[in-house]
Amino acid sequence: MYHTLSVLVENKPGVLTRITSLFARRGFNIDSLAVGETEDSTISRITISVRADNASIEQITKQLHKLINVVKINELTEDDSISRELVLFKVNAVPDRRHEIIEIASVFRANIIDVGRSTLTIEATGTSDKLGAMEDLFRAYGIKEIVRTGKIAISRGLRD
Amino acid sequence: MKSDKNGQRMTGAQAIIASLEAEGVDILFGYPGGQAIKIYDALYDSKQLKHILTRHEQGATHAADGYARATGRPGVVLVTSGPGATNTVTGIATAYMDSVPMVVITGQVPTSVIGTDAFQESDITGITLPITKHNYLVKKAEDLPRIIREAFFIATTGRPGPVLIDVPSDITKAEIVFEYPETVSIPSYKPTYKGHSKQIKQAVELIKDSYKPILYVGGGIIASGAGKELEELAEFMQIPVTATLIGKGCFPEDHHLSLGMPGMHGAKYTNYALSNADLLIAVGARFSDRVTGKLSEFAKGARVIHIDIDPAEIGKNKAVDIPIVGDAKIILGAINEELHKTAVAPRTTDWLTQIDEWRARYPLHHHAPSSAIVPRYVFERLNELLEGRKKIITTEVGQHQMWAAQYCKTNEPRTFISSGGLGTMGFGLPAAVGAQAGCPDTLVVCIAGDGSIQMNSQEMATAAINDFPVKVVLLNNGCLGMVRQWQQLFYEERYSSTLLGACPDFVKLAEAYGWHAERVAEPEDVDRALRAMIEHPGPALLDVIITDREMVFPMVAPGAAIDDMIGATNVGPISNMIDSEEE
């Protein structure tokens, strides 16, 4: 089962290594990881997607808490959070099939950000499901390259 | 913490020394080198700090570890960069596995050349990331006092552990105005000490209702100084106690409720008690595989209360009914208080009778007549000769370690020092040196094997030069006994690379270091030679020749359930109370 951990850490050199090496040495796999500064420049947020059972997630969370630089950990569930990922697809596109690809992109509200002689590069954001669906469709044309940012997520605003 | 040096202008190196002084450090263990030379120069002026020069940086870390386990104060290590730093790795990992408070200061190449593969450069913060509780690379001399303050705080609070501080040599030269912080503020580090009151109440209910409880306790009791509270609980509710190797001594082993060590080389009655209990109260112990054997069978019928200061240990290996995060002393105190509030009577009379019957039927000691020296005999003599003396036993790792754990009667905490989690050969001798440095009036005896002691035998020089009168009882079987035992039992007697041969001559080796040394090969010489060793005013080694056929029994085969033991003594059926034990 997929879990999304939102980990607040002190914004100091080497902290990311501490997090990732902990996953490696405790035998847990990271599916995706995104990191950046928060509204407080001394704190960074690391969003980690992990595929693990509940007992493993509990153990990962407890082990992460033991790292001195880890300030806070939230597990974000699908119901109470919104997640996004940004993907760049470079798709084979001979001139007479370009319009098909552009059409698919527009259905998904993705942008064409580069046009080459035989390729189109598309920028898309969304949930993992949506991006997966796009990938499936582009595969028919041949994908030359995919670059993903990794998933980021934010908790929903409280309903007052 | 106050420092009388506050406000003074000084170098980074002097600030390190002033910080250590402010922390109340009396002894540090170490080895100088190019990038640490400035710190050593500042150390030269210190009246408070005594430096013990070991003969290897690994020896320094084990000595600091032995000092910490013996005194309860953090061990402090000072070494240089590169190989000096990497040589501390095994010692740091040993301390980390057994939760020993330690602060290691390493020299580093100057900031300007870090990352260029400079001479004697190693990324020691990267290397020790998985084996330290935390580590620091100092970037500014101004940060030194705060970082050292934090390092001692982190090392000694919560679940104790080693902390490393890497100091580039330009930082040791830079000048700062020294100010040692009074308080520590690490927002992201706040260990829990007080247990959750609702969970404590639930635990008390389980304890009251239990007919067959057992206390399974570990190093956490010693770290938190919870021995008195443990004894009170055990006695009040008449609960038998089994203590892990690291917890050995936290509960007096001459107490009628003591069951000794559990697990792979525990007594059969201890493991039977664990397997048949209806309530397992684990305190400051971590369900190590050497204790549990086959995990799914461990304490199968028992409800589990797990008290530990490290939340990550709770539920890591064994599912728990009542988790309580916090300090063992505080929580056991609270449990005792709750129990005393209501009139409860122990229900364990039948349970204790049952355990006593197992104890009688499967005694730990077996009496095989032999013309050679049997290890048990050496320990019996040693126990008797040390009776009533202030003593500390350290061990190396292997068969002799397990015999020591089985036979050395230990009634006080911090008097049995052994590498449990990491199982580090080469630990015992330097640990004895460190323990002796911290406890000058105590008789320190290292139980060693001929394999292990060769991994740090150079530390005999440290003992001799510093007049540390440590004693070594060397059980010499000419082989790597524990591996050989496994080969004999599980690898069809294919003794691959476990024969050491009669080399070196340990008497000559010890004498070369200025030690008193003697060899015994006949049982009738053991008593006299042990006496001579103990009475010798300086360091002394007794080379005890035993056969390579001796094994550590009883034993749980790797992967088996702990009540499925081989080599256990069975003095015959004496009870029909239990019918699950047919063999």
The CATH number linked to A137 is: 3.30.70.1150
Q: Name which of B460, B466, B446, B426 is nearest B61 in CA terms.
A: B426
Q: Is B134 on the interface with A (CB under 8 A)?
A: yes
Does residue A90 sit in the same domain as residue A67?
no
Residues B188, A68: C-beta atoms closer than 8 Å: yes
Q: Considering A40, A60, A76, which residue would you say is the last residue of a domain?
A: A76
The neighbouring-strand residues paired with A3 are A50
Compute the distance between CA of residue B306 and CA of residue B536 in angstroms, rounded to an integer: 46
Helix axes B349-361, B268-276, angle to 10 degrees: 150
Mutate to test the interface with A, among B129, B153, B188 (most CBs of A within 10 A): B188
Q: What is the mean pLDDT of residues B372-391?
A: 95
Q: Is the dihedral of CA A110, A113, A119, A124 positive or negative?
A: negative
The secondary structure of B275-293 as a DSSP string is: HH-SEEEEES----HHHHB
pLDDT value of residue B342: 85
- Taking an 8 Å cut-off on Cβ atoms, the answer to whether B129 and A18 are in contact is yes
Whether residues A41 and A58 share a domain: the answer is yes
A12 at the B interface (CB within 8 A)? no
Tell me if A17 and B126 make a contact (CB, 8 A cut-off). yes
Please indicate if any CB of chain B lies within 8 Å of the CB of A21. Answer: yes
Give the pLDDT of residue B367: 63
Beta-bridged to residue B102, according to DSSP, are: B75, B162
Residues A21 and A69 in one domain: yes
CB B165 within 8 A of CB B105: yes
- Residue A160, in any domain of the structure: no
Give the whole-angstrom CA distance, residue B209 versus residue B203: 10
Residues A8 and A71 in one domain: yes
Interface of B with A in 366-425 (CB under 8 A): none
Q: How confident is the model over B143-156, as a mean pLDDT?
A: 98
**pLDDT tens profile B314-330:** 999 999 999 999 999 99
- Say yes or no: B306 contacts chain A, CB-CB below 8 A: no
The Cα of B189 is separated from the nearest Cα of chain A by a number of Å equal to 6
Whether B188 sits inside 8 A of A14 (CB atoms) is no
Over residues B104-116, mean pLDDT: 98
Q: What is the pLDDT, as a whole number, of residue B571?
A: 76
What pLDDT is stored for residue A159 in this prediction? 59
CB contact under 8 Å between A14 and B316, yes or no, is no
- Are residues A56 and A121 both part of a single domain? no
Cβ of B188 within 8 Å of Cβ of A70? The answer is yes
Query: Which of B186, B311, B315 is facing A68, going by the closest CB pair?
Result: B186
Element (H, E) at A15: helix A15-25
Choosing from A76, A107, A136, the residue where a domain stops is A76
Say if B312 is an interface residue toward chain A (CB within 8 Å): yes
pLDDT for the residue B572: 65
Domain span at residue A113 reads: 82-155
Q: What percent of chain B has pLDDT over 90?
A: 94
- Residues of chain A with Cβ-Cβ distance to B125 below 8 Å are 14
> Do A72 and A94 fall within a single domain?
no
- B113: tokens are 């050349």
Both tokens assigned to B582: 């047919």
In this structure, the number of other CB atoms found within 10 A of the CB of residue B66 comes to 32
Of A13, A21, A58, the CB nearest to B129: A21
Given CB atoms, is A18 within the 8 Å cutoff of chain B? yes
B311 and A65 within 8 Å at the Cβ level: the answer is yes
At residue B510, what is the residue type? A
Residue of chain B nearest A70, judged by CA positions: B188
Q: How far off is chain B from A7, nearest CA to CA, in Å?
A: 12
A116 occurs within a structural domain = yes
Q: Is B312 in contact with A17 (Cβ distance < 8 A)?
A: no
A62·B311 Cβ contact <8 A: yes
Burial A22-60 (b: 16+ CB within 10 A, else e): bbeeeebebebbbbeeeeeeeebbbbbbbebeeebbbbb
A70–B137 CB contact, under 8 Å: no
Are A105 and A48 contained in the same domain? no
Residues A55 and A97 in one domain: no
**What was the pLDDT predicted at B573?**
57
pLDDT tens by residue, chain A, 160 residues: 889 999 999 999 999 999 999 999 999 999 999 999 999 999 999 999 999 999 999 999 999 999 999 999 999 998 899 999 999 999 999 999 999 999 999 999 999 999 999 999 999 999 989 999 999 999 999 999 999 999 999 999 875 5
Q: Do B315 and A58 make contact, defined as CB atoms within 8 angstroms?
A: yes
Distances, alpha carbon B422 to alpha carbons B91, B205, B313, B434, in Å? 10, 37, 17, 19
Same domain for A93 and A69?
no
- As a whole number, the mean pLDDT across chain B is 95
Q: What is the CATH number of the domain that holds A46?
A: 3.30.70.260
A108: in domain: yes
| pLDDT category of residue B364 using cuts at 50, 70 and 90 | confident
Given a cut of 60, whether residue B576 has pLDDT beyond it is no
Q: What is the mean pLDDT of residues B379-388?
A: 96
Give the gap in angstroms from C-alpha A148 to the nearest C-alpha of chain B: 28
Classify residue B572 as left (phi > 0), alpha (psi -120 to 50) or beta.
left
Instruction: Clarify whether residues A62 and A16 are in a common domain.
Output: yes
Pairing of the two strands B102-108 and B75-79: parallel
Domain count for chain A: 2
**Does the predicted TM-score (pTM) go above 0.80?**
yes
Measure in Å the smallest separation between the Cα of B323 and chain A Cα atoms: 14
Q: What is the pLDDT of residues B481-512, one digit of tens each?
A: 999 999 999 999 999 999 999 999 999 999 99
Instruction: Tell me which of A60, A76, A92 is where a domain ends.
Output: A76
Mean pLDDT of B332-338: 97
Residue B566 touches partner A, C-beta closer than 8 Å: no
Contact B81, B451 (CB under 8 A): no
With contacts defined as CB-CB under 8 Å, which chain A residues touch B130?
21-22, 25
Smallest CA–CA distance, residue A34 to chain B, in Å, is 21
Query: Are B165 and B108 spatial neighbours (Cβ–Cβ below 8 Å)?
Result: no
The answer to whether residues A39 and A92 belong to one domain is no
Non-local (6+) Cβ contacts of B348 within 8 A are B210, B211, B212, B213, B237, B238, B239, B240
Do the domain assignments include residue A39?
yes
Same domain, A92 and A54: no
